[in-house]
Structure 1
Amino acid sequence: MNDKLWYSAAGIILLVVLGGAVYYAWPALVGREDGDYPGPTVNIQGRVESVAASARVVTLSTDEGEVSMALSPGTEISGVNGSRTELSAIRRGFMVQAEGSFTSESAFLPARIRILAEPNIVVFSPRSGDEIGLPVVITGEARVFENSFSYRIKDSDGTVLMEGFDTADAPDIGQYGPFEVRASYPEPKGSTGTVEVLEYSAKDGSEINKVSVPVKFGPVDALTVKVHFQNQKRDPEMMDCSKTYTVDRRIPRTQSVARAALEELLKGPTSTEYREGFITSINSGVKIQSLTIANGTARADFDETLERATGGSCRVAAIRSQITETLKQFPTVRNVVISIDGRTEDILQP
Structure 2
Amino acid sequence: MRKIWLILPIVAALGVGCLTQTPGLPVEPTEPVVQVQEVFGVLDGWDEASGVARVRTSGGGVEEVRWPSGASSPSDRMGSLVRASGVRDGATLQIVGETVSFEERGAIVVVSPVAGATVTSPLQVQGFGRVFEQTLDWRVKDVTGSVVAQGYAMTDARDIGQYGPFQFEIFLPALADQSFVLEVLTYSAQDGSEQDVVTVPLRLLSTATSTFDVYFSHAQKGSNEDCTRTFAVSRTVAQTSAVGRAAILELLEGPTLEEAAQGYATNIPAQAGLRSLVISGETAKADFDSGLSAVAGSCRVTA
User: TM-score by structure 2 length?
Assistant: 0.55
Given the alignment of the two structures, is residue 216 of structure 1 paired with residue 203 of structure 2, yes or no?
A: yes
Aligned partner of 1:141 in structure 2 is 128
| Residue 216 (structure 1) shift | 1.7
In structure 1, the partner of 2:70 is 73
Map of 1:160 onto structure 2:
147
Q: Which amino acid aligns with 1:309?
A: A
Aligned mates of 1:114, 1:178 — CA distance in 2: 16
Structure 1 pair 219–55 and aligned structure 2 pair: CA distance change class (3 A): farther
Call closer, same or farther: CA 1:289–1:87 in 2, change over 3 Å: closer
Q: How does 1:1-350 map to 2 (within 5 A)?
A: 50=40, 73=70, 88=78, 90-91=80-81, 117-219=104-206, 222-228=209-215, 246=233, 248-250=235-237, 252-254=239-241, 257=243, 259-265=244-250, 268=253, 281-282=268-269, 283-287=271-275, 302=287, 305=290, 307-316=292-301, 320=303
Q: Distance in 2 between matches of 1:274 and 1:139?
A: 30
1:196 touches 1:213 (CA, 8 Å); kept in 2?
Answer: yes
Counterpart of 1:313, as a letter, is: S
Question: How far did 1:158 drift?
Answer: 0.9
For 2:81, what is the secondary structure of its paired residue? coil
The answer as to whether partners of 2:140 and 2:183 remain within 8 angstroms in 1 is yes
**CA shift digits 1:259-301 (9 cap, x unpaired):** 335432465369xx5799687724423445656786xxx7766
Amino acid at match of 1:284: A
Give the share of equivalent positions with the same residue, in percent.
Answer: 26
C-alpha RMSD of matched pairs (Å) = 4.7
How many pairs are equivalent? Answer: 223
Q: Could you list the runs of 5+ residues in structure 2 that have no partner in the other structure? A: 1-37, 44-50, 54-66, 84-97
**Contact kept? 2:126, 2:165, Cα under 8 Å:** yes
How many Å separate the matches in 1 of 2:139 and 2:258? 14
CA contact (8 A) 1:249 1:264 kept: no
Q: Secondary structure at the match of 1:146?
A: helix
For 2:193 and 2:267, the matched residues in 1 are separated by 26
CA distance in 1, matches of 2:250, 2:188: 28
- Contact 1:152-1:162 within 8 A present in 2 as well: yes
Unaligned 5+ runs, structure 1: 1-47, 57-69, 78-84, 94-107, 321-350
Task: For 2:149, give the aligned amino acid.
Answer: M
